[in-house]
Chains A and B, each alone.
Chain A
Amino acid sequence: MSFPVVSATVFAPLAGALIISCIPASRKEVIRWVAAVATGISFILSIYLVLAYDLSAGGVQFIEKVDWLPTFGIKYFMGADGISVVLLLLTAIVGFTGVFASWGIQNRVKEYFITFLALTFACAGVFAAFDLFLLFVFFELAVLPKYVLIAVWGSTKKEYAAMKLALYLTLGGAIILLGILCLYFVAGLNTMDILVLAQHSFTHQQQVWLFALLTLGFAVQVPIVPLHSWLPDAHTGAPTAGSMILAGVVMKLGAYGIIRVALWFFPEGAVVWAPLIAIFAVICVVYAAFVAMGQKDLKYMIANSSISHMGYSVLGIAALSVASLTGAVFQFFAHGIMAALNFALAGMTYDRTHTRIMAAMGGLAKVMPVLAIAFAIGALASVGLPGTASFWAEFSVFVGSFPVFPLWAILSISGIVFTAYYMLRAVQRVYFEPLKKEYAELKDAVWYDWVVISVIIFFIVAMGVYPSLLMDLIGSGLEPILAGLPEAKPAIDLGWLSALGGVK
């Protein structure tokens, strides 16, 4: 058997956590470096996966299969298709930069990094699992580290936020588990292999109800309004790196589940429910944007903006067209790194000013120009400025969904205007108004801030200039999923992209 690259990518953070658990708690510097190396290995391997993935062959590659629970036909089945590769890269970027964003943490450093690495490990596992049971295991595995991370190292209302998150996510998990069990016994194939189950043709009735059940379960995690109320509290309460990974990666787990399981297995169900999901998506985009506009707290604003941005993804999924789904998955990546950057900068700013109330800050660009520029880039990426990754994501979602839901697409586009309003206002309030005296002595970015900022901005810009690297991967990953949809074209046609000129 060749070297298990996918498993190594997923398990590197866990190995790091195990090594850290053997290091005495007083050696903080060693612990930080072990965490950095562990996530760094995973980062390098995920870049290797992106480059080594054979586009012309397509399908699931780097397969590792071992029997795990033969009674139920459950296997340890890891692999990567185009979508997995992109999302593994996202997880690795957020994990790696998250370690550096946590460099300044002084309280219980050892436990902190163990928890953080465990969470990174669980998220990566979800994207690499091609056995339904294994996917669910990774999905649920993430709950406890998330809880501990927020409850111990969080800030505002941390215990309340942590418990709310745990309850909501477990509720979603319970619904998903019921859905998985139902589909397993309905299919009656005695296997949890996603590739095999996806080939099984469920009856129309089964598709309609199982799609509804699974999507409901996953929707809690996305989250889709009105199941979202755990998110702003959790993202705001979490420590900086916790918010980064929650917004950057964890939010994608639910939407990924919808595409990977619900949509792939039950295309007819998807067609039935799509109009309803589209309505919820628009509510997500517009409602969350309005809520974000009303926030005084910087992190609450970013958290609500995340819900709004994930609404684009959901709209893309609901439109069920090639372009819209490609855009939806690209949005996972684009929003993932962008939200990580925004939360990282909110955290860095908070560490210096000790307030998150935007009105209390002001003029910080004078003392910390690097952070100001980085924040401005993050804000512009939020707005979807051409040249940033989010532009392509949002653009293809709108292109794909406009023919299907013209009204909803137009309403969602209005979300961009709101985003521009609250994001640019935040930049202005925090960084550009007259400098307050008490902040005159603040320091600009230190070396570990530089690592976070430069790595993420590199990817935001690189994917903004050269999106087809990931677009092609996502397209190849979506091919088998789209094949089941009655109305979608089976072949991948990214012609509209090249029509724009200069992209391909």
Chain B
Amino acid sequence: MMSVGLLLPEIIVGAAGLIVLIERLFSKGEPGRKDAAWFGAAAVLVALFATFKLFGTNVTAFYGSYRVDDLAVFFKIVALAAAGLTLLFAPDFLAPRGVKTGDFTALVLFAAGGMMLLPSALDFITLFISLELISISFYVMIAMQRGEVRPAEAGLKYLLLSGMASAILLYGMSLIYGLTGSTYLAAIRQALSAGEPPILAGIACLMILAGLGFKIYLVPFHMWAPDVYEGASSPTVAFLASGSSAAALAAVLRLFGESFAGLAGLWVPILLIMAVITVAVGNIVALPQTNVKRLLAYSSIAHAGYILLAIVAGGRSGTAAVMYYSLLYAFSVVAAFGVISAFAETSGGDIRSFAGLARRAPFLAFVMMVALASLAGIPPLAGFMAKFAVFAAAVQAGYIMVAGIALLLSVISIFYYFQVIKVMYVEEPAEATPITFGLGTYAALLLGLAGIIMLGVVPGPLMHIAQVAAGFARF
């Protein structure tokens, strides 16, 4: 009975998703209704409380396949925060465009369920199913705007590439199962750390890295991101950028920090090189972008590179930095896409549509500026603290050169972030009409803004929680 209690937050989210779906069957589904999303947001809030109650539980259940510890709880909170904020501003975008809010809400809730299960997964089956729950929900969400070409194209791209990534991941998993005879992470660790691991184990480990690397924007598995970001609706992208990669990062932490610890001699140098390349590609290719959504895709890639540094640094501070980064990044990116979804969708995020935003909608421009400054790592905003934690972990682990190169590459990012700020504040608007947006958007942006500023100004408590939770990365 106790074990089922461990799943309470996931059950709440899943049940809410089902209720929304069933309600859709019986209602006429008038376009413009937003109550499904409000219901979903309320469910997320309840689940958030249930999740907070799980702090300090630290139990392995279901025959060793599922673990609730502070690390998992932390990532569940990231997923819930991302889902909650997305559901707040999504209806303002979806309802006028004829998308049934109920469908979107149900999918967000299901994906959130997957994101909450993934950090707890301690065996390959649970892990893979959680991952697929996320992926399949996103296939639909990305392609959801019927009759429009770009979302459909983006959805198809994501489907094909994600399917490929899943296949490679599964192949790697099956090889590991063949070598060790187990799908349990703990058993795999034991088998792999006893004696010299076979070469095949190394190959399998890299396959798993490739499969998960797709989700966390690792170069060269990042190609989908710009197209999907540009094509999909902003609420979808907000949730994709903030929730999906965070959950996958939790899995990477569990797998590489623990199960493949015996293979560290193989994957540490590879990941280090990939981290630098990821930072370089993300920052450099972002420079010529003229579409803010594409620009943010490359920015996501660059940030994935920083996080990767912390993963390689490992240890308590590295793990804590990954967790901290995931949450703070989620706030910044949701706020940025919240602004884009409030007005820029009609022109697909073209940077020219941002011209003079400060005059047309001072609040939107201000939120966007704070979100971008946070992503650029300007203190005292959340993004700066996160960056500090990551680079501190890397230097502590002795990767001074790599941290230095990544820091220098991060300077480039100032150019493209400030470019957007400049367009919003300096250039004259093409049309002077003020922009209006709904109460949900307002609430989501206000919460995002509060998160970015508060967690930057008062970083102590959260950093402490992350440090404590990081102690559970080794189970």
Contacts and interface: CB of A to CB of B under 8 A. Distances in A.
A174 B410 contact: yes
What band does the interface of chain B fall in when counting residues whose beta carbon is under 8 Å from A? 20 to 34
Interface in A167-206: 167, 170-171, 174-175, 177-178, 181-182, 184-185
Interface stretch (B14-22, B162-170, B396-404): B396-404
Contacts of A147: 418, 421
A317 B61 CA distance: 64
Given A140-B378, A151-B426, A185-B396, A177 B415 contact: no
A178 B395 contact: yes
In the complex, which of the residues A67, A148, A166, A167 has the most CB atoms of chain B within 10 Å of its own CB atom? A166
Q: What secondary structure prevails in chain A residues at the interface with B? A: helix
Contacts of B320: 71
A163 B418 contact: yes
B414 interface: yes
B396 A177 contact: no
A178 B391 contact: yes
Contact of B400 (A67, A166, A178): A178
Interface in B269-322: 320
What band does the interface of chain A fall in when counting residues whose beta carbon is under 8 Å from B? 20 to 34
In the complex, which of the residues B396, B415, B425 has the most CB atoms of chain A within 10 Å of its own CB atom? B425
Contacts of B403: 178, 181
Contact of A71 (B358, B373, B408, B467): B467
B400 A148 contact: no
A68 B395 CA distance: 21
B395 A170 contact: no
Interface in A144-165: 144, 147-148, 151-152, 159, 162-163
Contact of A70 (B379, B384, B460): B460
Contacts of A167: 411, 414-415
Given A151-B425, A181-B403, A69 B460 contact: yes
Interface in B341-367: 358
Contacts of A148: 421, 425
A141 B414 CA distance: 13
A20 to B, nearest CB: 14
Contacts of B53: none
Nearest to B410: A174
B463 A71 contact: yes
A454 B404 CA distance: 47
Interface in A217-267: none
A457 interface: no
A34 to B, nearest CB: 19
In the complex, which of the residues A71, A133, A159 has the most CB atoms of chain B within 10 Å of its own CB atom? A71
Interface string B452-469: 000000011001100100
Given A137-B380, A152-B426, A185-B395, A71 B460 contact: yes
B173 interface: no
A48 interface: no
Interface string B181-193: 0000000000000
A167 B287 CA distance: 13
A421 interface: no
Contacts of A178: 391, 395, 400, 403-404, 407
A170 B373 contact: no
Contacts of B128: none
B464 A151 contact: no
A182 B395 contact: yes
A375 to B, nearest CB: 31
B43 interface: no
B395 A137 contact: no
22 contacts: A67-B460, A69-B460, A70-B464, A71-B460, A72-B392, A141-B378, A144-B373, A147-B421, A151-B422, A151-B425, A159-B422, A162-B422, A163-B415, A166-B414, A167-B415, A170-B414, A171-B411, A178-B395, A178-B404, A182-B395, A184-B395, A185-B395
Interface of B: 320, 358, 373, 378-380, 384-385, 388, 391-392, 395-396, 400, 403-404, 407-408, 410-411, 414-415, 418-419, 421-422, 425-426, 459-460, 463-464, 467
The list of the 8 closest CB pairs from A to B, nearest first, reads A181-B395, A137-B379, A174-B407, A71-B463, A170-B414, A171-B411, A170-B411, A140-B379
